[in-house]
Structure 1
């Protein structure tokens, strides 16, 4: 996948998320202009509004991370082992942060943490 294609995919995801976050803000009576400002500013506002646990917050932070990685030349590298993430994984989810092996390990560890908390 070419860099312009990746940027286009991420831009589309960002646009869709900004629309959904706008709807969420409206439903929560939060004054928020989601169409202007950087992703960092949007994330900060959502944090101040106490919406860090909402799934849209996680999605917008993933898009922000992927855009930053693309800008610094690290897009497509696993956040854990730094090996390349399989192209198939990125085709399915362009904001994927882990290779298959590390994703399995992370999921297993996360399930263990959930068990310990309950």
Structure 2
């Protein structure tokens, strides 16, 4: 399998995220993605959407390197190709994503 086009897409996403990161945390832009995740997790910035997007990107790159890219993080089934085309950092298949979103909404209701 030729992973070069996928690596290029992930690299483009990383470039965009690093540009956004420069505006809110310029000290982090020179760090590796995993170090950026670690630093953001320990800061109030972990509440911002960029944090989740960087986490997903880091996970996708790691999965690609391990040969596990495209497998659902929850059930390990193949993530639907159309989901990956829409978002190359997708971590869940449709069924698990729906379950996760439903569960997350329930947790939000209970916490208020």
TM-score scaled by length of structure 1: 0.87
In the alignment, the residues of structure 1 paired with residue 12 and residue 41 of structure 2 have an alpha-carbon distance, to the nearest angstrom, of 23
SS in 2 for 1:75: coil
Question: Does the residue aligned with 2:91 lie in a helix, a strand or coil?
Answer: coil
1:103 aligns with 2:97: yes
CA-CA distance at 1:2 after TM superposition: 4.2
Coordinate RMSD, CA, aligned: 1.5
Displacement of 1:50 in angstroms is: 2.7
The alpha-carbon distance between structure 1 residues 71 and 109, as it changes in their structure 2 partners (threshold 3 A), is: same
TM alignment of 1:31-42, pairs within 5 A: 32-34=27-29, 36-42=30-36
Q: Distance in 1 between matches of 2:105 and 2:90?
A: 19
Say which of 94, 100, 106 aligns to 1:112: 106
Which one of the candidate residues 67, 80, 84 is aligned to 1:90?
84
Which 5+ residue runs of structure 2 have no aligned equivalent? none
Alpha-carbon distance between aligned partners in 1 of 2:41 and 2:77, rounded to the nearest angstrom: 31
Alpha-carbon shift at residue 48 of structure 1 (Å): 3.8
Which residue in the other structure is 1:29 paired with? none
8 Å CA contact 2:21, 2:28 repeated in 1: no
Structure 1: gaps (5+ residues): 27-31
Work out whether residues 74 and 96 of structure 2, in 8 Å CA contact, stay in contact via their aligned partners in 1: yes
Q: Which has the higher helix share?
A: 2
Deviation at 1:43, TM superposition (A): 1.9
> Which protein has the larger Cα radius of gyration, Structure 1 or Structure 2?
1
SS in 1 for 2:25: helix
